[in-house]
Every structure is written in C-alpha cells, then in structure tokens.
Amino acid sequence: MRLGVDFGTTHTVVTMVDRGNYPVVAFEGGDPYPSLVALLPSGELKYGFDAAAVRHEPGVRIVRSFKRLLADAGPRAGIEVGGRQILLLDLLGGFLAKVREDLLTRSNAEVAEGEPLEAAISVPANSSSAQRFLTLEAFRVAGFAPVALLNEPSAAGFEYAHRFRSTITSRREHVLVYDLGGGTFDASLLRMTGKTNEVVTSEGVRRLGGDDFDEAILAAVLARAGAGEPDEETRELLLEECARQKEAVGPNTRKLVLDLSPLDLAPIALPIEEVWEACAALVEKSIAATEPVLSAAEVEEGDLAGVYVVGGAGAFPLVGRRLRERFGEKRVKRSPHPFAATAVGLALFLDTEAGFSLSDRLTRHFGVFREADAGEEVVFDPIFPKGLPVPAAAQAPATAVRRYRAAHDVGYFRFVECSRIVEGRPDGDVTPGEAIRFPFLPALRGQPLDEDTVRRLAEAGPEVEEVYSLTAGGAVEVTIRVPSDGFERTWRLGRQGA
C-alpha cells in the first residue's frame, strides 16, 4: 500500500493512493490523529489516541509538539519527561510505530496482513539535514518503507495543481504556497508547467505556528482574568482549552468563551477583537516571510496564479483576511482540507499514473568551518549552496569533493546550515550540525578522540579526501578517507556514523 504521511506538530494525517483517489485515512479514535505522547507514572509510554485518552489522569505527563524539537536535534538529542531522559529518535519512532499499528487495527485503510507500507513523508522546507535524517530513520524504525521525502509546501503544491489546474496559464505559472502548521511556517514559490512542479525558492520560520497562536490567546485570557502565571499542569489544561476554542473560530465568531475551571475561576468571554489583536503580530510575521520569496525570484504578485493557504493554522480566519488584503480577494485560495493538503499532495506524488513530478531545491546553505592562514583564522566552506537542485529519488546524488594535505593529526569538522551567507559567514537562521572527528594518523585509530587530541603537525600530513553526497530529500552524507592507506569513515549527517 502506498501512503502519504504528514507527521505534524499537533496532528498526523495519512492518505492513501486508491485508483486515482487520495482519501484521508479515518481512525476509530476520531480525526485527526493526535501527535501526542503520554508518560504514565509507571514509566509506560502511550501514543496518539491512547495518549489523548489518559492525558487528564493524575500523574500523567504529556509531551506535545515534539516535532518542534527536531529542528535543533542531533543524533543523540533527548527530552526530559517527568525526570526521565528519552532519546528523541526513540520517542518519534515509538509514536510512528503506534501510527502504523493503528493503521492496521483501528483504521479504514484495510491493509492486508504483511503488506508493505510504502510512504512518502514530509518535513518543513527549512529543515536541517539532521531533521531529515532523524525523520527518515524514525519511519524506518517504525516499520514503514519510506520511498520519498518532500518539503511540506512542495507536497501541498501537488494538491493545488490537482484542484486548481485551471488557474495556471502561460502568463501565470507561479503559485505561492503559504503553509502555516502547528509549529512551523514555510513559504515556497513553485513554477508549474504541465505536471512538473519546480521549486523556485523557499523561506521559513521554524518556530511559528498554531502553538504560538494558542500561547498568545492564553496570554490575553490571563490578562483579562487578572490571573498570574499558572503552574505547568494548569497551563497545559488552559492551552488545550485555547487550542480547542481557536480551532472552532469561524468568520462570524464574535467572542471566545473559555473554561477557566483549572484556575478555579468562572468562564470568561474574550471578544474576538482581542483574539485578533493577540495574534496579529504572528500573522504579520508569516506574511513578511513571503516577501523575500517573491523578491528573490523577481515575481510580482500580479504574476501569481494563486496564493495557496494550507496547514491547520491556515484555517484561522485572521490569516485569510490579511492574505486577501495583501494579495487580493481572487488570488488567495484555501485548501478544502487544510489539515490534509500536504498528505494528499504526498499521495499524488506517489501515484505514478497521476504523472506529477517535482524539481526541488535546497532551502539552506550547508558547509563546514575550516582553519586558514596556518590556524590564524577560521573560514566557512560552503559545500552545497542554497538553491541547488535536489536529486530526485531515481537520480544519482549530487557530489562535492575536497582534497588537501592534513595539517593536524585529527580532523575536527564542524558542520553548519544557514539561511544566508553574508561576507562569507553563515547568517540568518544558523543551525550547528554535527561535530565529528576523524583520525588522519594510523596510531590514533581506535582511540577516543576529543578536543585535546587535535594537534598541529610539524610538517604536512597525509592527503585527505572528503566526498559529500546530497541525496534525494535534501539530506547529506560525507565520506572522509586517507587514500594512502585506504582508511575511511562515512557519516549520514543527523545520526551516528557508519
């Protein structure tokens, strides 16, 4: 069975490829599938609907929005829950394993026993290599067979092409995908010709989404109620109430009536104008992030076929209102299923008979810090630049090679990804990657390597070769070798080396 799986910050959506149709999988627990983990007092972990069922029981600790933790995660990144340290990969793998189990036993997917689950999966456009690898690895650990990794707005672009093909003309080939989810915001400009979607450029804000709207509404509620900052457990209950009320807001809503019983207070009515005021800065921040996308591609708003609003938080009425004011009433289109647009697009991509193809690009620069001038300076070496086309699944990886004579006994590689480079230095949204060490001298191999073992050689050392590969989905791996004696190691950046 071929599936599109959109692992979201607050919800996870699964779609199927079914004879030219792309239905959303329905689960017995209700829709959509909650991206939740619960730690019981016994130490047992529960996931998804099972976690939601026990979230209010005494002593239960709930982990929400754990997708956000992937943004800065390394291979051994963990999270502390109730005094217990849990590896993020284990947490995500356990959650996805439960999604797979519920697909088999609690859904209308009708998966046959032993049938492989081929999945196209998605990540935010601004994801680092580490986040891409951790996501892929978690799906594999959970028992899925991931066959494609797409950026979320790129996947949503397929759904636009499927639903609104008539808006695309030879004069208006560009679509701006505005993807506001539970935890992240992405804006991607796609050029659509025939059934090929080409990503022209992308920008993102890694911590901007529905979670932040909930926080802003809660702050407004506490201010109106004259209440101080609640304890952690009470705050969780209030945030849940704010999220529930926010998702029920419609164009004609005049006020939100919120249950404040966790504070031992009567319900409070928050006028909708105060809700808009609380969330306005967040909406403006997202719209501002679309500007560099259009300016970088030199595309005027009048040349857009459409602005496509997807992601759960994109359903918030203030978002549509401000986008229509910015881009025009007729140009802004909202997915009929904003929660499911990405998952539907993933299924479309997998359907070979639908005939869609994608030409994607790197959304961030990838490089490494190196010494220069005999160790007097440190410079940034950009290995793969932002905007570089990402190989498709059937294509060979893009490669970059560096060769030099070792100046130290141990190579210390500090990888970095960033949204822009200014005067040769990483700038903007900068994410440190893995720091790895490689022994150039045979005598050091098999020994623990730390910063104290890195020493400058009195004379030039052996020749070193670094081979970088950019694979489908935008992930990077590097092989470092000493050709003179054949010693080498390969790292898939984002997890431990092979």
* 291-296: long-range pairs with CB below 8 Å, 24+: 292/203, 293/176, 293/187, 293/188, 293/189, 293/201, 293/202, 293/203, 294/176, 294/189, 296/201
- Identify the domain boundary among 325, 359, 393: 359
CA–CA dist 135, 9 (Å, integer): 13
The two structure tokens encoding residue 432: 């440190």
- The band of 358, judged by pLDDT with boundaries at 50, 70 and 90, is confident
Can you tell me the mean pLDDT for 85-100? 93
Place of tokens 């699944």: 393
- Identify the domain boundary among 335, 359, 383: 359
Judge whether residue 451 has pLDDT over 80.
no
CA–CA dist 381, 424 (Å, integer): 8
Same domain assignment for residues 99 and 168: yes
CA–CA dist 185, 156 (Å, integer): 13
Burial class (CB in 10 A: 0-12, 13-18, 19+), 432: middle
Determine the longest span between alpha carbons in the chain, in angstroms. Answer: 77
Same domain assignment for residues 170 and 313: yes
In a domain, 353, yes or no: yes
In a domain, 66, yes or no: yes
The two structure tokens encoding residue 380: 């940034």
Same domain assignment for residues 324 and 387: no
The two structure tokens encoding residue 268: 């409070």
What is the rounded average pLDDT for all residues in the chain? 90
In a domain, 178, yes or no: yes
CA–CA dist 493, 474 (Å, integer): 11
Asked whether the beta carbons of 97 and 138 are under 8 A apart, the reply is no
In a domain, 429, yes or no: yes
Specify the pLDDT at position 495.
40
Can you tell me the mean pLDDT for 199-206? 88
Same domain assignment for residues 55 and 187: yes
The two structure tokens encoding residue 460: 């030039």
Residue-wise pLDDT for 248-283, tens only, equals 998 899 999 999 999 999 999 999 999 999 999 999
Residue-wise pLDDT for 298-334, tens only, equals 998 889 999 999 998 999 999 999 999 999 999 999 9
Residue-wise pLDDT for 108-121, tens only, equals 999 988 899 999 99
Specify the pLDDT at position 279.
97
In a domain, 475, yes or no: yes
CA-wise closest residue to 108 among 190, 192, 28, 3: 28
In a domain, 105, yes or no: yes
Same domain assignment for residues 197 and 151: yes
Range of the domain at 317: 2-207+281-359
In a domain, 247, yes or no: no
Specify the pLDDT at position 348.
94
**In sequence order, what are the beta bridge partners of 427?**
420
Same domain assignment for residues 144 and 73: yes
In a domain, 264, yes or no: no
Same domain assignment for residues 296 and 193: yes
Same domain assignment for residues 317 and 436: no
- Identify the domain boundary among 314, 341, 359: 359
Domain tally, the chain: 2
Same domain assignment for residues 404 and 439: yes
Can you tell me the mean pLDDT for 420-447? 86
Specify the pLDDT at position 496.
35
Same domain assignment for residues 317 and 416: no
Same domain assignment for residues 295 and 376: no
Sign of the C-alpha dihedral, residues 383, 128, 25, 105? positive
Q: What CATH number did the domain enclosing 389 receive?
A: 2.60.34.10
Q: What CATH number did the domain enclosing 101 receive?
A: 3.30.420.40
Same domain assignment for residues 290 and 429: no
